[in-house]
Amino acid sequence: MAMKIILLQIMQWFLLVCGLFCVLRLITGKTTPDKLAGLNVLSGIVLAFLVLHGVELGRTFYLDVALVYDIFGFLGYLAIANLLKNKINNEED
């Protein structure tokens, strides 16, 4: 049981470090696709962190929050992609 908790905490710390690198990519990205890629990966890391934290605590509430977070994140990416597509189409006209 103690080994499970230790492994879950190690994975959470690893995700935290990866999240910091994604935030760095988000801040230093020169183009919009670079920033969007950093945001996409950061969203996946937050999702994984929520799932691991829910498993560690044994609470399904975190898994429900992770599912809703993922759905809204996907809808957000669709909206951003649509805006970028419209921006590119308007520049061509």
| pLDDT score for 93 | 63
Does the pLDDT value for residue 34 go beyond 70? Answer: yes
- Tens digits of residue pLDDT in 8-19: 899 999 999 999
Go through the chain and tell me how many residues it has.
93
Query: What are the residue boundaries of the structural domains of the chain, listed by start?
Result: 2-92
| pLDDT score for 17 | 95
Cβ atoms of 29 and 38 closer than 8 Å: yes
- 26: exposed, middle or buried (Cβ count in 10 Å: 0-12, 13-18, 19+): middle
2-92: CATH architecture: Orthogonal Bundle (1.10)
Mean pLDDT (the chain) is 86
Does the pLDDT value for residue 74 go beyond 80? Answer: yes
C-alpha pair distances (Å), 7 with each of 1, 56, 63, 72, 92: 10, 10, 19, 29, 52
- Give the other-Cβ count within 10 Å of 13's Cβ: 10
| pLDDT score for 79 | 83
